[in-house]
């Protein structure tokens, strides 16, 4: 029975703890209001803190007990299948009955307090009691409408947040669907270019591509992966490229151990590494160098330590080399995905630090 009751209150859009605190704050407010009214009117009897606090507390803590019924009643307004007139009629009828029941409980408990205080028990069917019951039911009805409005607003807020999350997830998936074919087509183009020149290495690249795609599918549903998982993907990708540029590319990793378990958006690195090869390794006559640095560092924009993801590559353009025209899709997607994940609490810069060194740097909040 205790478990059923707990689950019953657990279905409320606002936690029962917050509802209790709300009832307590409201009770204190109206007790102070009654005391202020007592002082202003200068009544010739002493103000009873205990009596007024008990009566006021009973009024609002009975609503705490009845909140599941109020929420169930409020849900009749959210029934999308029912006719709006029928929904409003059911709600108003239920609200009036529940308000009357609330006031009935209050009047009985107040009569009990009055009896303990004075030794006199009021007649339930007495004229004064019936008037109080009718007028009090109207007050309870207003209170019930306020509680229902709070529940409706809370439900609306939760649905809005869920819809926003679903929209962001859909946008992120759309960006990833753009990114993966982009990466795949570029890699297949590289393999196609090698088939006639070096069939053995082309076969090796196809084998590595198959392994890479299988790894991609394993965490394809995950929007966030650990730095270690992202790094493994990048290593597999670079292994693929090193088959093609084996004597022209050197990869150096400088990875802080404490960053490996932190979370980053999946495939956030791949476009940056691809650009480093496309614009840093391919144009060079000599060996190209790519440095991947991942560490934690204090950042002014975050006002705390942030996760630094940095890729540096050398650029030595040979004479007569024509720079390939790119769509910029990879870098645009990186920026869009960072915006979706982190809003404005991130930085992303890609620029030449010197004429021979290009740096792409991402700073994001630490997510464990």
Q: Which neighbouring-strand residues pair with 226?
A: 263
SS3 11: coil
pLDDT given for residue 332 in this prediction: 78
For 251-274, the pLDDT digits (tens) are: 889 999 999 999 988 778 878 887
Other Cβ atoms less than 10 A from the Cβ of 111: the count is 17
CA distance 143 to 128: 22
pLDDT given for residue 1 in this prediction: 39
For 59-105, the pLDDT digits (tens) are: 899 999 999 999 988 888 887 677 888 888 888 999 999 999 998 88
CA distance 308 to 297: 7
Judge whether residue 181 has pLDDT over 80.
no
For 276-330, the pLDDT digits (tens) are: 777 666 666 566 788 899 999 888 777 888 899 998 887 765 554 455 555 566 6
Task: Name the pLDDT band for 343 (thresholds 50, 70, 90).
Answer: confident
Check if the beta carbon of residue 143 is closer than 8 Å to that of residue 121.
no
Mean of pLDDT values over 12-21: 88
* Weakest mean pLDDT among 86-90, 178-182, 267-271, 348-352: 178-182
Phi and psi at residue 281, to the nearest 5°: -100, -50
CA distance 298 to 135: 63
**Residue boundaries of the structural domains of the chain:** 2-161, 198-364
- DSSP code per residue over 200-240: HHHHHHHHHHHHHHHHHHHTTT-SEEEHHHHHHHHHHHHHH
Inter-CA distances, 296 with 96, 248, 262, 293, 366, Å: 60, 30, 10, 10, 9
For 187-229, the pLDDT digits (tens) are: 777 778 778 777 887 787 788 777 777 766 665 555 788 899 8
Check if the beta carbon of residue 30 is closer than 8 Å to that of residue 56.
yes
Q: Which neighbouring-strand residues pair with 360?
A: 311, 350
CATH of domain 198-364: 3.30.565.10
> Is 260 exposed, middle or buried (CB count within 10 Å of its CB: 0-12, 13-18, 19+)?
middle
Judge whether residue 173 has pLDDT over 70.
no
């Amino acid at each position: 029975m205790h478990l059923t009751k707990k689950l019953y209150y657990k279905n409320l859009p606002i936690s029962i703890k917050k509802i209790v605190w709300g009832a307590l704050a409201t009770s204190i407010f109206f007790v102070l209001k009654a005391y202020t009214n007592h002082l202003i009117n200068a009544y010739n009897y002493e103000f009873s803190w205990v009596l007024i606090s008990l009566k006021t507390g009973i009024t609002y803590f009975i609503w705490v007990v009845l909140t599941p019924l109020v929420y169930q009643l409020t849900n009749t307004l959210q029934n999308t299948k029912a006719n709006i007139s029928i929904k409003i009629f059911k709600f108003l009828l239920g609200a009036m009955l529940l308000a009357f029941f609330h006031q009935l409980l209050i009047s009985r408990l107040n009569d009990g307090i009055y009896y303990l205080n004075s030794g006199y028990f009021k007649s339930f069917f007495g004229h004064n009691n019936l008037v109080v019951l009718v007028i009090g039911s109207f007050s309870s009805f207003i209170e019930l409408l306020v509680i229902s409005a709070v529940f409706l607003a809370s439900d609306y807020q939760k649905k809005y947040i869920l819809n926003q999350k679903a929209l962001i997830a859909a946008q992120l998936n759309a960006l990833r669907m753009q990114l993966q074919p982009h990466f795949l087509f570029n890699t297949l183009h590289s393999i196609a270019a090698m088939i006639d020149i070096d069939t053995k290495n082309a076969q090796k690249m196809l084998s590595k591509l198959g392994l890479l795609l299988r790894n991609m599918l394993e965490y394809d549903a995950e929007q966030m992966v650990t730095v270690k998982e992202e790094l493994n993907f990048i290593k597999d990708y670079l292994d693929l490229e090193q088959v093609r540029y084996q004597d022209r590319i050197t990869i150096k990793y400088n990875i802080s151990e404490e960053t490996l378990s932190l979370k980053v958006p999946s495939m956030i690195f791949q476009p940056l590494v691809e650009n480093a090869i496309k614009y840093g390794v391919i144009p060079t006559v000599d060996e190209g160098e790519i440095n991947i640095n991942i560490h934690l560092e204090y950042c002014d924009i975050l006002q705390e330590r942030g996760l630094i993801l940095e890729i540096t590559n050398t650029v030595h353009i040979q004479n007569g080399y024509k720079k390939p025209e790119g769509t910029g899709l990879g870098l645009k997607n990186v920026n869009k995905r960072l915006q979706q994940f982190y809003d404005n609490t991130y930085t992303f810069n890609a620029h030449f630090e010197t004429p021979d060194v290009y740096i792409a740097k991402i700073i994001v909040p630490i997510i464990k």
